[in-house]
Structure 1
Amino acid sequence: MCDVQDYIGNELSRFNKEIFEFLRIPSVSAKSEHDEDTRRTAKWLRQKLTEAGLRSEILETPGHPIVIGEWKEAGAGAPTVVVYGHYDVQPPDPLELWTSPPFEPEFRDARLYARGAADDKGQLYLHVKAAEAHLKGAGALPVNLIILAEGEEEVGSPNLAPFVEAHRERLACDAVVISDTGMFAPGLPSLLFSLRGLAYFEIHVRGPSSDLHSGAYGGPIVNP
């Protein structure tokens, strides 16, 4: 048994090959022509969670499936942490603005370029490999761990809230880590405690049924 850092160093080449595989799958959730790619991504991720040492499964939703990996052997009294991420990506358009093909990852100047590298396959896979390094390198994790990855974040997560409600006992935890935020600079990790959130409004405006002369009515009649 080696330690965590030794394990990462020994396996880094494999880690890079795997993230390239992950990024090559065009899991564009907003495009129905990529539905099979998105499901293929879910199956691929489940396999990697299993190989990392977690008990994993794919759970269906009315849309794209949710992938869960669990390790709950930290012992009585140990906290439970849920790591959330998503395996779907945005459409890559406009393609002509890409220096390299969006689904052909490559390193340039020590940076990894591909659709999903920063949102959110890169961060999600980091947590999967961190769990693997602890389980394979140190033999255990200090906490109970649940990794939850959805395939619909880029289309508004329509099935996430109902899924969490339906599995609230299974997902009960002491903390949630969101693997979908940024950092200040390379080599400077950061913890983000909150975001502004998202609100959607639909406004209906009703105006006059005919045009009015602005010179005669521009004052008393409000332009909608």
Structure 2
Amino acid sequence: MSRQYQYYYTLIRWKNNKKSSEIHVELVITGDKDVEDKPHSGPPHKATTPEVIAKVKKLVSDNLHITTRGLLNLVGISHERVNYILNEELNMKKICAKWVPYKLSEKISKIMLEFQRNFRNSKSGYQNIITDNETWMYFFTVSSKENNKHIVASKVVPESTTVNSRFYVNNVLPEMFNNFMKKRDRHTVRDALLHHNNATPHGAKIVTNYLKDQYVKLALIPLTVQT
């Protein structure tokens, strides 16, 4: 039984104050064992026509980041019908979204202020910042990313490989630094600012010593702060 039919089945039980066993007995007596919805009188859903479904599909294909509110405004159907068409007819779900904080906490505000003070008189500005992280991701490039953000290195870790501090030092950081130097036309990563989160491998002593040997500093940016 699909999710939609389960919903109607539960609703009928609640309105008629009947147990599921009572409904089952009635179905057996009448010889009707099919619990799926059957054709009934009344107008069909005008919003779920092939034309409307095709229009929704085209809008989503043209803009993968379109919202359900945007679809209902453009197509002129209800929010419930938009969700039905996306989930049931087109078998779609949202897998890529960008979230931004609408309000900074006092702790993050202070760190951000200190960060801006440190860079106010810097000649290099943001040229020396390297952002690093490990993540599970879809191979999908979001078109709305800022143009000044670039991936200087990406590495697919072999299956069943543990990303510990030693792997981080021996495999991830050297390749990332080499790509950074090529992109910036530099011969060293000295005075570069590494921006990574507080994952366990990142804070290990072997990583700290490696960064110290390379004269790489850590950038204290609010994205690494947990509140």
For Structure 1 versus Structure 2, the TM-score category normalised by the shorter chain is under 0.3
TM-score if structure 2 supplies the norm length? 0.21
Structure 1 or 2: more strand by fraction: 1
Using CA pairs under 8 Å that are at least 6 residues apart, name the structure with larger relative contact order, 1 or 2: 1
- Larger radius of gyration, structure 1 or 2? 2
TM-score if structure 1 supplies the norm length? 0.21
